Amino acid sequence: MGELTGKTALVTGASRGIGRAVAERLAADGALVAVNYARDETAAKETVAAIEAAGGRAFAVRAELGADGAIGDLLAGLDAHGVTTLDVLVNNAGIGAPVPIEDVTPDLYDRVFAVNTRALFFLTRSLLPRIPDHGRIVNITTGATRIAFPEGIAYAMSKGAVDTFTLALAKHLGPRGITVNNVAPGIVDTDVNADWLRGNAEAEAYAASRAALGRVGRPDDIAAAVAFLASGDGRWVTGTTVDATGGSEL
């Protein structure tokens, strides 16, 4: 019996990277996991297949968060699988904007906030009736809200708004015993960073040097932090950020 046996979880943006690792970990802990994806159906099916091969339970739900109608699509996908109660919500879906202020166009700014902030806000609001007392909400933010990140200023701003959302929502939902927390990754070895990180010894050494623990983060490092907050052991932690950067820029 896993920690989350009998529970249902939704992980947004779960077809790859950190989201996939979180989905696999929550399923390994016993949860039935809804694997949300935006466009890559093949990757989502691969995530579900990997979970099932390991003895877990999962299903894929398509919804391109940030696009018109996406939240309705996601709710319909949950309904189609008979999911009316959601014990764990992990808001992981997001997009980057690795450019300084001079290169941030209004369209890019709006797109980043539409996905990283607005969609997260309204999806969570829409799901609140399905989250029972003592449920868990975990938002994936970024170490860039603690560490100056001018080369991705709009992205960092969008996640800073999520940090504030988490703080306020934790207070709001506290009477119901629902915890709301952030997990903030640093540099993680995912396909998002593959172009500049993988196979480049100099880049990897630089990335590792920024962390007090001396290596680049892995998706399962972040998944472990999420799993703690989703578990019974995380029952007395709310309204805060678990820094999962490996001690970057301490």
* Residues with catalytic function: 155
Q: Could you tell me if 127 and 116 are in contact, meaning their C-beta atoms sit under 8 angstroms apart?
A: no
Would you list the DSSP string of 102-131? GG--HHHHHHHHIIIIIHHHHHHHHHGGGS
Nearest to 243 by CA among 215, 205, 211, 200: 211
Nearest to 156 by CA among 195, 189, 116: 116
The span from the CA of 175 to the CA of 233, in Å, is 18
Instruction: Give residue 233's Cα distance to chain centre.
Output: 19
Kindly report the number of other CB atoms within 10 A of residue 12's CB atom: 27
Beta-bridged to residue 32, according to DSSP, are: 8, 57
Q: Could you tell me if 142 and 185 are in contact, meaning their C-beta atoms sit under 8 angstroms apart?
A: yes
